[in-house]
Amino acid sequence: MANQELLNQLKEVSREANRRIRQLRKNYDHDTWAERILYDRVNIKYEGLTPTGRVKANKRMKDAEIKASIKAVNDFLNDKRSTVKGLEETKDTLNKAISKHLEENIEGLTTQEADTLVQLFEDEDAKNVMKYIPPSDFFTLIKEAKDDNKTEIDFMEMMEGYINFSQNSGAKEELSAFYNKFFSSGKK
């Protein structure tokens, strides 16, 4: 049985987190960065979310689960990306940083497109591929492959112009892992 004081604390922070999530969902048609971070943290050890994506708070929870949820929710609430204003500021900062990094102007990037780029920058498979290809070329090739609906074989052939597979033995496997994660349509 849960400690009532801890449970009340979780209910209080959960109410605020759920309010912010509703506000974010009014403004964006997909999960935001901060929401996914919250969901990942709350769901690591147990199912800490309701079917509608709200943070759970019930008497059957163990104290350790409640404490973990409180910490995850507080981290979410303290993250500036958990508010519409903070998310917009982050998106603007990201647009400028990515534009500078890619050496091309990407103003007008949607939140979903910016989110996809953030996922690419943070993804280990993408980082592995960027060891072989400059990021600006890599993102241009990804966009072209997506736009042209390239198969994995076509994608590998595109990359052969940039990567010498005979000199980089693990490159083919890393590209394949990347393709399967981000293009995931199962085309060969």
At residue 55, the 3 state secondary structure works out as: strand
Predicted TM-score of the model (pTM):
0.54
Q: What is the dihedral of CA 147, 150, 155, 161, to 10 degrees?
A: -60
Supply angle C-alpha 179, 152, 160, rounded to 5.
90
**Tens digits of residue pLDDT in 6-52:** 889 988 998 998 888 888 888 876 667 677 777 776 665 456 667 77
Q: Please tell me the distance from the alpha carbon of residue 164 to that of residue 134, in angstroms, as a whole number.
A: 14
**159 burial level (CB within 10 Å; 0-12, 13-18, 19+):** buried
Closest C-alpha among 132, 137, 127, 87 to residue 111: 87
- Considering only 55-59, 84-88, 96-100, 159-163, which range has the smallest mean pLDDT? 96-100
Q: Give 55's strand partners.
A: 49
- Short-list 148, 109, 141, CA closest to 126: 141
d(CA 17, CA 25): 12
**What value does the mean pLDDT take over residues 100-114?**
60
Q: What is the pLDDT of residues 60-91, one digit of tens each?
A: 888 888 888 888 888 888 888 788 888 788 77
| Weakest-pLDDT range from 36-40, 104-108, 154-158, 167-171 | 104-108
Q: Rounded CA gap, 47 and 93, in Å?
A: 34
